[in-house]
Amino acid sequence: MATSTRPTLLKLPEILAELGMSRAAFYRMRARGHAPRLVKLPNGQLRCRRADLDAWLESNEITQAA
């Protein structure tokens, strides 16, 4: 039996908890184009692929100079 390899879709409260920010702050960041890529479902709910969130976090990582 084949296993499905569908990407994990995170709900907005899960994203907010992981980022440690409020919904309002997230929507402000999204309006400025600085939020991770989201998927809008037919019912209007927003989801984020785990891979997209991880990539976004990596791209916003600050490395300290030695």
Would the pTM count as exceeding 0.85?
A: no
Average pLDDT over residues 40-57: 94
Is residue 63 predicted with pLDDT exceeding 90? no
What is the DSSP code string of 28-61?
Answer: HHHHTT-SPP-EE-TTS-EEEEHHHHHHHHHHTP
How does the average pLDDT of the chain come out, rounded?
89
Is residue 43 predicted with pLDDT exceeding 90? yes
12 and 23 Cβ atoms separated by less than 8 Å? yes
Residue with token string 């960041």: 29
